[in-house]
Amino acid sequence: MSRPATTPAKAAVLFVCTGNICRSPTAEAVFRAHVKRAGLASAIAIDSAGTHDYQLGQPPDLRAVARARLRGYDLGARCARQFAFEDFDRFGWILAMDRFNLGHLETLRPRGFRGYLGLLLDFAPEVGVPEVPDPYGGETKDFDRVLDLVEDAAEGLLEAVRKTLRDARR
């Protein structure tokens, strides 16, 4: 599990859900694949975390792993971790999956944080929903829905991060 430090030439993106076993690792894997295809893997660090300690140390949900694998994404051998206050220093982009988790992060946000803290689906307004729903208690179709939404947001997020990288080089 990486704990990247941001520099002017590097961006760092953190995806956050409740337990870090379904939505945020899925978003991490999808975004990592988009970044790799764009040739920016060395310029953008990517991680995920949960706001709560319910599943600390657990691997991603097997249903999330299986559905992601069918689309060519690898959730990898990662373990759930809890969001740490220091993540505000490590990541310039912190993206919550829903308003509940965003609210939790906003209560922790230090005054000096100058990065982006918001909802992932802000980068996919065309989907018509603001939140990535939690599939944990659901069915296979709910994990597919998470993938659909995250894929829709990944390209918009990547373009926004690319822009900050270009601006940092000027």
Which residues are identified as catalytic? Answer: 17, 23, 134
d(CA 21, CA 65): 9
d(CA 146, CA 144): 5
Structure tokens given for 100: 């509940």
How many angstroms separate the Cα of 115 from the Cα of each of 33, 46, 111, 164? 23, 15, 11, 11
d(CA 78, CA 76): 6
d(CA 123, CA 1): 25
Q: What are phi and psi of 26, to 5 degrees?
A: -65, -45
Report helix angle 23-37 to 140-169, nearest 10. 50
